Amino acid sequence: MIKLTQARRTATVAVFDLDGTLTWRDTLLSFLTGYLQRHPTRSLRLWRLPPALAAYGCFSRDRGALKSAMIRMVMGGEPRARIDAWTDAFVAGLKARGTFRAQALAVLEEHRAAGDHLVLLSASPDLYVPRIGRLLGFERTLCTEIRWRQDILDGALVTANRRGEEKSSCLAWLRMQYPGLPVVAYGNSDSDLPHLRLADGALLVNANAAARRAAAALGLAVAEWS
């Protein structure tokens, strides 16, 4: 757990990234591929994937647009009840599949025991992230929000993709929700550095070499969680 000075250690807002920080791997791909396994005829829509990947790699570099395109291919037009049924099964099986890092959960529990406010901040979509937040006992969850049209999934992004600088905006909003409280943050990639550097305490975990070098240049601590 990030240590703040004793004078500031009455209560803290502890902000955790999800993919690669709390988990061993990306959750969105697992979520989408699991849905395809349950509903294999949806795979017929994946002919759109190569053009979407090419557009991302050659032109836009817009991760939010790519995310929306993938969600639309796999789940677009599906009813809420069918998606919710898969979400329930997906989230319920996360611990059994060993998705979460034991050390990450231990740090989370240290913050809970200290009476800190726990916030899950993820670029992954609200199709399942809020339920992970409830599973792990987070007080608040902020993630990328996806559009529905009544009870049919549209798949467009309602919010900005909550990655990179967008997480900095989320951090600023959190400071307004918890006025006067210090914020500590945990992330795992170079895209997390913008909001980590704005926190009162920060730790970059499980990062690649380039992200570690960038964190060192900013004076941020790094660690490896098992």
Write down the pTM of the prediction: 0.94
Q: What is the pLDDT of residue 59?
A: 66
Rounded Cα distance between 135 and 53, Å, is 32
Q: What is the pLDDT of residue 9?
A: 62
- Within a domain: residue 1? no
- Torsional class of 20: left (φ above 0), alpha (ψ -120 to 50), beta (otherwise): left
Q: What is the pLDDT of residues 186-195, one digit of tens each?
A: 999 999 999 9
Q: What is the pLDDT of residue 196?
A: 98
- Specify whether the CB–CB gap between 66 and 58 falls below 8 A: no
- Specify whether the CB–CB gap between 194 and 164 falls below 8 A: yes
Total of domains in the chain: 1
Indicate which CATH number applies to the domain containing 190. Answer: 3.40.50.1000
Q: What is the pLDDT of residue 53?
A: 72
Longest dimension (CA), the chain: 59
- Within a domain: residue 218? yes
162 C-beta neighbours (distance < 10 Å), count: 23
Rounded Cα distance between 189 and 167, Å, is 13
Q: What is the pLDDT of residues 201-225, one digit of tens each?
A: 999 999 999 999 999 999 999 999 9
Q: What is the pLDDT of residue 8?
A: 55
Print the domain residue range for 27: 6-223
- Within a domain: residue 169? yes
For the chain, which residues score pLDDT lower than 70?
A: 5-9, 56, 58-60
